[in-house]
Amino acid sequence: MPYLLALGSAFLYGSADFIGGFTSKKAETIAVVLISQLSGFIILALLVPLLPAVTPTGHDLLWGAVAGTCGSIGVALLYRGLAIGTMAIVAPTTAVCAVILPVAVAAALGERLSTLATTGIGVALIGIVLVGQETTRIEGAGEGAGGRARRRVPAGLGLALLSGIAIGGFYLSLSRASADAGLWPLLVARGSSVALFGMLVMVRGRSLRMPVPAASMALAAGVLDMSANTLYLVATWSGSLSIVVTLASLYPASTVLLARVFLRERLNNVQVAGVVGALAAVLLIVAGR
């Protein structure tokens, strides 16, 4: 049962990313992020009082705030990357970078990496290079009907890399909070995210008005994201943590699948190999922890 819950959380995480990225194609990214984060905050605020009492310290809440800042930046970059780029490229690239950063920092602090984790990092780097191999056809005299091919960096790839780093910072910051704090650091993280984007909206004079369908999708993305967090937490209560984390880290697969079904995204053979490598890298890195 816990492993089914972990798989469910992976699907919900990936679904939230797909919906958030798709909505950002039709509305202001900052507005989409703010609405989705706010809906998730409300869900979590209603959930926390129902859980066993905990005693978070100021240290826990501070790291929660730092995590919220990193996470909000990561989500904004991710949604924008998904909006302008190919989801099947952006999602796995972000996931790989988010996993690599905590592992690299742990190694720098003296934690010894397993063979699996080291192999995973190598596969991840190769995967990122492969997904970046996009070509376009250029028509030109003497080049024939098909023109010639020119390589270019896929749209959204740079945002995916930056998003992964920011999300990795979220994982690192949140890990500094103690287990005795329960979900309070996560609640503070989400609250700080809402406050940050709320200020950005006011400073930049952005309007939160958007078509009702887009607003509904933004709300759904936030609810799905927080539901995924809940399923993941429940799964860790009775399942092996390493297995639960590994299964939950498969979330880019659902983003890629939804993008293929609903957006008809297509990749070249080299990029397909890169996506597969990125997903395999997540498995190797997390299992190697």
Torsion of CA 258, 261, 267, 273, to 10 degrees: 60
The C-alpha torsion from 84 through 32 and 96 to 87, rounded to 10°, is -40
Q: What is the pLDDT of residues 201-255, one digit of tens each?
A: 888 877 778 889 999 999 999 999 888 877 876 776 676 555 666 667 778 888 8
Q: Is 209 exposed, middle or buried (0-12, 13-18, 19+ CB in 10 A)?
A: exposed
Smallest CA-to-CA distance from 147 within 137, 155, 156, 157 is with 137
Amino acid in the structure at residue 256:
V
The DSSP symbol for 271 reads H
Packing angle of the helix pair 212-238, 29-47 (nearest 10 deg): 40
pLDDT confidence of residue 192: 92
In this predicted structure, which of 47-56, 127-136, 188-197, 263-272 has the lowest mean pLDDT? 127-136
Region 45-66: what's the mean pLDDT?
88
Higher pLDDT: 50 or 288? It is: 50
Q: pTM for this one? A: 0.80
With bands split at pLDDT 50, 70 and 90, how would you rate the model's confidence at 149?
low
Q: What is the pLDDT of residues 108-128, one digit of tens each?
A: 877 677 788 778 778 877 877
Provide the 10 A C-beta neighbour count for residue 180: 11
The residues with which 136 forms a beta bridge, in sequence order, are 150
174: tokens are 């949140």
Q: State the pLDDT at residue 139.
A: 47
**Sequence spans of domains, the chain:** 2-288
For 73, residues 6+ apart whose C-beta sits below 8 A from its C-beta are 166
